[in-house]
Every structure is written in structure tokens, then in C-alpha cells.
Structure 1
Amino acid sequence: MSCSSCSTNKDGVPKGCKSNGNCATGTCGSGNKLAVFDWLSNMTLPSGEAPYNIFEVRFKNGRKHFYRNSQNITVSMGDVVAVEGSSGHDIGIVSLAGELVKVQMKKRKVTEDSDNVKKIYRKATQKDIDVWQTARDRELETQRKGREIISKLGLKMKLSDVEFQGDGTKATFYYTADERVDFRQLIRDLAGAFSIRVEMRQVGMRQEAARLGGVGSCGRELCCSTWLTDFRKVNTAAARYQQLSLNPLKLAGQCGKLKCCLNFELDSYLDALESFPKQDLVLKTEKGDAVFVKMDIFKKLLWYTYKEESFKWYKLSLDQVQEIIELNENNEVSSPLEDYEAEIAEEPKIDFENVVGQDSLTRFDAPKKPRKNRRRPKRNTSNNKKTESRDKKKSPQKAGAKNAGGNKLDAKRQDSRRKKPNQNQLKQAQKPRNQKKKTEAKPTGENQQSPNKRKPQNNKRRNNNNRRKNTPKNAGNKDGNTKETK
């Protein structure tokens, strides 16, 4: 269906946004779930024929019903109308009018004399719309409290949605359950908590996904909530015909069931499979019997392997397989599969061409080359003495001749060894410097202890020797004291 800005002229030229009912605003195109474009809106009826007096009215989440305009009220698509309910009245929006309603009724198998076709009371007034909006605002809170009551009662059911009637006197609770649920006590608790009439309606997993909506694995909105109205059975045979892996995580949709889109391309696969042989057929060759592994339907390629050598697969074309089957039917054995596989000419793949001077798409795919100048591993200090002794034994002439004729890396290593002293050599070179510094230190007091214990002992011995040289023989007293000489 389309809004007034998207409707077409008599010549079929679209007006307004010129999107042919796909601007997604209001009631236009995909703006609402399960919307229908009225492509017969600008066609005039034949003379003497009255317009069709049954309209399609849409409610919350794409729920639609047919209503008869018995009072001949001027109603057009997009109008808000008050219609007959189970008790009281309900508020909805006219989604389709005219001759297309006959097509929709025929599709849903609803006759004009059916009891399901109720009446349109009037166009909704402002008071009706205000009551309807306040009732719609209560739905989220009612759903939350309803789930709390269900959890207290311990019922094995899932409350998916709540829908209030237009006059606010009745609410319909939609739920899903795997088993039969006794909800008699639940109805009493809900009616007492919200002071309304309660209707419980069980829906399937697919109907729940259609009501709630969502985005599928393809990146688009769910088909069941946008345009799909009837839910057909989907079997795993549809996945087998399309050569898909039977993985429930990939084949299941938002509802937890098999995806409805598996049925969309099934007919084209079945037509293509008519020319293919059966999968349980065994090919007889000179090397042995070959068994089917897999196939590519649209490229017309099949893979076979030998029963005894199942580790290798052989790719054959459909014509080659049919040729082998004809030979086997004439009680002849075909040549090995290797000969047939060699006949298949593979088409070269067209790579990226740098026409405009752009960078290659595979510039980051090339592996990086390893670095040549790696860090040398550290050597142990214990081996330094051995290297020093070896260097001393070798004469510089022999070492130079060997480096000239040998490898350049060995010459560099020997030069580095000669130039760079070891740690032990550095320690030995630093020892005498430290001793000189200690001897040149300032004299300490008598009470202070010298840092080196050996130095004061040596000084005492030197002083005693000097005194003995200066004093004459037998100059000492009995007490051992010495006298100074003039």
C-alpha cells in the first residue's frame, strides 16, 4: 500500500517521493509489517458496479481481519476506524480496500458470508484514539507483571506479547509452551491484578517470531514479519537437496526452527538435479570401484574416491561420469579416475589488475622476510680465559692469513676479541689504580682505624728499623729504653 504522496497518476507516473510505495513513511511500503501495495487504486470500476464494501483492518504486530462497511461510511486506506469486537469495540487502521480485498480473502479462504467478517461502526473520534493510546501504553507493564505471576505459579510457559483492545476492557495474552498448561489459576490472578477481561492465546514459535520481528542472518528483516503470511513445513530434505551441512546452528532461524528460505530455491535445485546420477551409484574402473563423495550442482562437478584409497578425491565433470556409467552398463570397465581428472581444464582465475595505478589488494598477504642482522647470543665469562690463551698462541701473521683466506665473519670476531678486553682484564687493570688512591689518602687520627689493616703494621716495622740504625750499639738501658745521640 502507498501513501498519498506515492500514488500514481492516470499515466502510471509516481507522484511525491517517486519511490513506488517504498519510502517507509506512515503506511507506505515497508513502513509497517505485512503491508500490501494497492496497485489497483487508480483504476476506475466498470459502469454500474458498486465498490467492494469489505475492508481489511490491521491491528498490533500485523494482525489483520476483514470487516464489512454495512453503513456505507466513506472509508479510505489509512483511516482509523472503530470496529466490532468480541465484547465492546476495537480500534484499527484500514490497510486495504477495493478489489484487492477479494484476492486476500480468497488467499486466506474467507467467504463473504462468514461469521468472521464483522462490522465497521464508525470512524474513530479523538476520544476513541485517546483511550486506545492509554491502553497501548499499559501493555509493557502488564507483560512484566504477567511474567512475574507466571514464575510464582511455576508454569512452564513463555509470555511473549500482550495486546489490549481499543476500549481498554480486554487484554489478549500470547504465550508459547511445549506442553499443555493449566492456566485457570493464572487467569484469575491476571484478572484480579489488572481488573480486565483476560484471553489466553497460544501461538507457535514461527508466529511468535513473526509478531516480535527481528533481523535474520542475511542482514534483512525476517520474512515472516514483513511479507510471508503462510508458514509451510520445512524438512531437512530441502537442505540435503541443496548440498548443505546439517548443522542446526546454521539452518535454524530466530524461531529455533528450520529457516523458511530453504524452500525458496528448492525448486531450482530439483530441476538441476534431474540430469545428475544417483549418489549411491558405484563406478567400476580398472583400478577399483569408486564411490560418490560430493557435488557442485551449478558447476556440474562431482567428486569420487576409491573404496580402498579413500584419502584422495578425484574431480570429474558430469559428462565424464555419464560416460563411465554407459561403459559400466555395457559390462565394460573404464580407465582410472586419474586419467579423467587430467582432462579437466581449469580456467585461470582473473587476478587484480593495476590499471589506475592503485596498490595491489594482496600487498599485505606476502610474508615478511627474516632479518639478517640478528642479535648475537651472549657468551659465558668462563670461556673468556680459553679464548685469550688461544689468541696468544696464534701469531698475528697466521691469524691474518687465515682470515684473508677464510670467512669474513671469523676475522671480524677475532678483531673484536683483540680490541675488546675481557671483564677479568678490566678488573686487573683497575686494581693498581685503586691502591694508589688509597695510599694517597689523608692521614687519619690516632683513635681512628685505618681502612686497610696491613698498612699500620708495616709502618711500625719501618719506624723500628730506622731507630735501630740511628742508635749506637749497647745504647739501651736495662729497661729497654733508648737515648738520643748528639
Structure 2
Amino acid sequence: MACSSCSTGKDGQPRGCRNNGTCGSDGCNKLTVFDWLSNMSLPNGQKPFDCVEVRFKNSRKEFFRNADDLPLAIGDIVATQAKSGHDVGIVSLTGELVKVQMKRKKVSWDDKALPKIYRKATQRDIDVWQKCRNKEEEIKKRSREIAISLNLQMKLSDVEFQGDGSKATFYYTAEERVDFRQLIKDMARAFGIRIEMRQIGYRQEAQRLGGIGSCGRELCCSTWLTDFRSVNTASARYQQLALNPQKLAGQCGKLKCCLNYELDMYLEALKDFPAPDTKLQTEKGVAFCQKVDIFKETLWFSYRNDPSNWHALNKKQVQEIVKLNSGGKKIASLEEYAADNVKEDRLAFENVVGQDSLTRFDKPKRRRKGNKKHNRRNKKRKTSPNA
């Protein structure tokens, strides 16, 4: 999703609106919600919903009450209520869909303590806001230097200024609890503003910073994923993936969220599948399961005395053998069942060249006559007694 200003340019490159996060149509922003009710009129006598969703830096969104019934649309820059002073953000959603989003995020629209929208941002508000946004990178670099000088085991990942420039929120990640009281004093003295420290998780850090995943696409958490469900190694085991931390970990260092996307399908397919620890009793010995292929419905078994020789059985055959074993019967061997699954490999191409050599038109290499004479001389020297 992108605004009309981000269409392709004459040279085939993306043009870009160059609004630096203040896109008027809100189509270039992360976690944008499409308002499919925007072109539908309300029933007679129904008033528009008096709450709007406002987006701030990165993916931070909050809900505010439009108490003065301001004519707001998506993309409008507004001045909102804050704990002290005011903040500046962009309207990202209006109308009845705001009620759905509030219900989804468990925010009550009847709450009287819901913050309010003061006004549409004036040019002075926008100038102060942009000036503060331009200082964020420099202040983030300086604050990291202060944290390193104090030997604090923490990582400052992002800085967000309040719209009026009176307060800055520093987002950080840390393995353990950090005493940053001296850090706050040093930063308040250096920057001359109020400081708020907010600890976030590694997944929230990746969501705020963004990036490109191993699949070649932008991170899910920074584009559309809003809730972080727990991911454990069992998800990889059910999908028979190699437990390689380097391949299973994402940009945040935790297990990839996409491991849960297809997990339900695998669990559904494994319901009527034999367990991986199934043992088959045969006259040649006990056979153990070595590999399972859910899509082909095939299991590979090998004898205890011959673990390197695998025999492919389909799901129904294994269930039949397990049923016989439960009745106290043993099958003769796995080879009898595996022989039924052998399929002849069919060539998907024809050898139109036949048996002719591909180098038949090349000129044969001629041997040099001088080489034979040289070899004879060397042999005589070796066999001569004087050598």
C-alpha cells in the first residue's frame, strides 16, 4: 500500500513522496489499516464515532477522543493531549473502524479518562515537531556514548521526542535490570529536556527499527504483525526443520514468528499419522522410524542391526503393521511392504543426440614427435652405467 505520490518515476525507479513519515494519505506508513468504510454514509440520525486513532513515530498508535467534533480525515496532523504539554501525531483511522480497533486492543471507548485532541496542528506546531524529529539521531548517538561511559549493560535503540519538544522517550533493551538513575541525570543535563526511559523486548525493537528478513521481504512485525505469540522449538520439530539457531532466528535474535504460520496445518496432518517413535516388530528384528514426510505420507524405517538401510512405507502400511503387532503377530520383513512402493523413474526428456559424442567435431590433438625422442634420451641416461 502506498500513496499516489510514490508511483514509479520515468526511469523505472520509485519516486517517493519524501514526506519523512508525514504522508498525507497515510499509505506509506507501517501497520496501516485500510478504511473500507470510508465511502459509505452513516444511517440517518447516527452520529459519527467520536474517537480517532493517531499514529506517532514508527508503529506507536493511540486512541483519542474528538470532543470538539473537529472535521478530521486520515492524514491530518493534530495536537493531542499528553501527560504534560501536548504531542503531535497523524490521524491514521477515523469512523466506525476505530471502534473495532479499540475493541481488539481492549480499550474502552466509554472511558472518561481517554485523552483528547486539542486542535489541528498549526504551522508553528509542525515546525517545532519537525525540528525535534531532526535532532533525534544526534541525541541518540550522544546518549549511547554516555551509556557506554557509565558501563551500563543496555542498548539504546530509539529516541522519540514529544511534539512540543519538552520530553524525550528513550527505548532500550537489556538482559537484566539496569540502574540508569545517573544516566538520566547526565542526559537531562546534556540535552536540557525531561527524560523517560522505557524498556522494550527484542521483538519490539525489531518492530520499531524494521529491516529485511531472510525471505527477502520487509519484516512482518514492522509491516502488518501486531501481536507477538510465543514461538518455541516444538514448532520447528513438528515441521521437521533442522534445529539450527542461525537459520531459525530472526533479526531480533529470537525464533522467527513465521514458524507459527503453517503450524496448524502440520498439526492437522499429524492427527492420523503414526507417532515418530513407532516400533515395528518383524521376524528380522525390531524396526525404528528414521524419517517422516507428511506431504508424501511416507515413513522410513530401518532395522536395529542395520540402521543405514532405510525402507520406505506409506502411512496405511505402517498402520496395518502396528495393528498386526498389537494383536501379537509379526510380519516377515519390511522389504515385502517396501517393494510395493518402488516406482520406476521416468525420464522427463529424450536423448536426441543419442550416443554421439559432443566433441565429435573437434579436431584431434596431435602428439609432438619431439616428445618421443626426448623420452628415449631420458631412458638411455637412466640405464647407462655412467649416469
TM-score by length of 1: 0.69
Q: Who is 2:270 aligned against?
A: 273
2:329 equivalent to 1:332:
yes
Aligned equivalent of 2:379, options 379, 383, 398: 383
1:352-391 per-residue CA deviation (whole Å, 9 max, x = no partner) reads 689xx9x9xxxxxx9xx9x976785853745347999xxx
Q: Who is 1:191 aligned against?
A: 188
Q: Who is 1:76 aligned against?
A: 73
Cα displacement (A) at 1:58: 0.3
Cα displacement (A) at 1:334: 1.1
C-alpha separation in 1, matches of 2:47 and 2:27: 30
1:173 aligns to what SS in structure 2?
strand
1:261-294 per-residue CA deviation (whole Å, 9 max, x = no partner) reads 1111111000000111112221011211100111
Aligned equivalent of 1:204, options 184, 195, 201: 201
Q: Who is 2:217 aligned against?
A: 220
Asked whether the equivalents of residues 74 and 93 of structure 2 are also in contact (C-alpha less than 8 Å), the reply is yes
2:309 equivalent to 1:291:
no
2:305 equivalent to 1:308:
yes
After TM superposition, the structure 1 = structure 2 runs for residues 255-266 of structure 1, keeping only pairs within 5 Å, are: 255-266=252-263
Cα displacement (A) at 1:335: 2.6
Q: Who is 2:153 aligned against?
A: 156
1:261 aligns to what SS in structure 2?
helix
Cα displacement (A) at 1:110: 0.5
Asked whether the equivalents of residues 236 and 246 of structure 1 are also in contact (C-alpha less than 8 Å), the reply is yes
Cα displacement (A) at 1:337: 1.2
Cα displacement (A) at 1:138: 0.3
Letter in 2 for 1:31: C
C-alpha separation in 2, matches of 1:349 and 1:75: 67
TM-score by length of 2: 0.86
Letter in 1 for 2:66: N
Letter in 2 for 1:39: W
Larger radius of gyration: 1
Asked whether the equivalents of residues 30 and 226 of structure 1 are also in contact (C-alpha less than 8 Å), the reply is no
2:287 aligns to what SS in structure 1?
strand
2:170 equivalent to 1:173:
yes
Aligned equivalent of 2:229, options 232, 239, 257: 232
C-alpha separation in 1, matches of 2:138 and 2:5: 37
Letter in 1 for 2:259: L
Letter in 1 for 2:164: D
Letter in 2 for 1:271: E
1:165-222 per-residue CA deviation (whole Å, 9 max, x = no partner) reads 1111110000000000000010000000000000000000000000000111111111
Q: Which runs of at least 4 in structure 1 moved beyond 3 Å after TM superposition?
A: 1-6, 23-30, 113-116, 347-354, 371-378, 380-388
State the percentage of identical aligned residues.
Answer: 60
Asked whether the equivalents of residues 29 and 36 of structure 1 are also in contact (C-alpha less than 8 Å), the reply is no
Looking at secondary structure, tell me which structure has more helix per residue: 1
Structure 2 residue runs of 5 or longer lacking an equivalent are: 9-14, 18-22, 354-358
Q: Who is 1:86 aligned against?
A: 83
2:253 aligns to what SS in structure 1?
coil
Asked whether the equivalents of residues 79 and 93 of structure 1 are also in contact (C-alpha less than 8 Å), the reply is yes
Residues 353, 225 of structure 1: alpha-carbon distance in 2 compared, 3 angstrom cutoff: farther
Asked whether the equivalents of residues 2 and 27 of structure 1 are also in contact (C-alpha less than 8 Å), the reply is no
C-alpha separation in 2, matches of 1:347 and 1:382: 57
C-alpha separation in 2, matches of 1:266 and 1:109: 27
Instruction: Kindly tell me the number of residue pairs found equivalent between the two proteins.
Output: 362
Cα displacement (A) at 1:126: 1.0
Aligned CA RMSD, in angstroms, stands at 3.0
RCO greater where, 1 or 2, for CA within 8 Å and sep 6 or more? 2
Structure 1 residue runs of 5 or longer lacking an equivalent are: 7-15, 18-22, 360-365, 389-486
1:121 aligns to what SS in structure 2?
strand
C-alpha separation in 2, matches of 1:115 and 1:198: 28
C-alpha separation in 2, matches of 1:374 and 1:314: 53
Asked whether the equivalents of residues 24 and 31 of structure 1 are also in contact (C-alpha less than 8 Å), the reply is no
